[in-house]
Amino acid sequence: MLRRLSIYVVLVLLALVTLVPFAYLFAASVKTNQDFFSSLFLPKGDGFLGVAWSRMTANHYARLFTEMDFTRHLVNSFFFASVISTLATLGCAMGGYALARFRFPGRGLVMNVVLASLIIPGALLLAPAYQMLFRLGLLDNIWGIVLPAMAPPFGVYLFRQATLTSVPTELLEAARIDGCGEIRIFFNVVLPLVRPMVGAFLLITFLGAWNNFIGPQIVLQTPERFPLSVAVAQLKGTYSQDYGMLMAGTVVSIVPVLALFLMLQREFIAGLTAGAVKG
């Protein structure tokens, strides 16, 4: 009992340390610029708990959605993240299933290319990807962001391993004997069996697309098409800085994905641990 209590105490302390940056971020977003450097968290005063509640303001959030048109950027981020995560999950699941259960010429070569792609830093691909998008006429186009993210090699390898451990060959053969086509087998047999991995990869890809900054910054030139990650960076001035506005924009950008992760954390953990225990 004492050991378990000590473990819980340590976990609570670690959780509090983790939450400190979020508390500071939210407190900074409701402070005026005059109070930004004068107090670490909330402004000190004669109010309840020694806080000057009257000096706190929600003006930064109001300005974001009135002056900066953050609603449009929020919709852009939801669009990019939703489309990319859905298409990437579907594409990776198909590719992983094909590499795991189909026999075709060049299968080993394709697998080696996928594995080799895992060790290439993404920054090295920025220049050739930009040139390719330029030649295809996809610069300043939403598909210039979506298409390159449809089949990441990490996802293909992940679903290949999930298929090998979760989809028995005998079940596929039985489905073919019953007259199922390959497309029906994939959607009705394979996807339900790898459902934990689908949920985990959807969340990982959604978070990655939501937080993607370099890609939209390079490909998109029209400000109205910028996602939140780029729009928040645009809040930084050259000669002056509205820190409250910047903190409020950061809060707006992290709250949706934080809520999504809290809702899907069980599926995320189940997907990460799928196949860890056999039998």
The predicted-structure confidence for 4-42, as pLDDT tens digits, reads as follows 888 889 999 998 898 888 888 888 888 887 777 777 788
Q: pTM of the predicted model, to two decimals?
A: 0.84
For residue 51, give the DSSP letter: B
The predicted-structure confidence for 90-99, as pLDDT tens digits, reads as follows 999 999 999 9
Banded pLDDT at 279 (limits 50, 70, 90) = very low
Q: Which pLDDT score, from 0 to 100, does residue 135 have?
A: 92
Cβ pair 43, 35 in contact under 8 A? yes
Q: Which pLDDT score, from 0 to 100, does residue 267 have?
A: 67
Which residue bears the tokens 């030139």?
A: 221
260 contacts: CB under 8 Å, gap ≥ 6: 203, 206
Name the segment(s) of the chain with CATH classification 1.10.3720.10: 65-273
DSSP, residue by residue, 67-95: TS-HHHHHHHHHHHHHHHHHHHHHHHHHH
The predicted-structure confidence for 44-77, as pLDDT tens digits, reads as follows 777 677 777 777 888 888 888 888 888 999 999 9
Residue ranges in the chain assigned as alpha helix (H):
2-29, 59-66, 70-101, 107-118, 126-136, 143-146, 153-166, 169-177, 182-185, 191-193, 195-211, 214-219, 228-234, 243-273
CATH annotation of 65-273: 1.10.3720.10
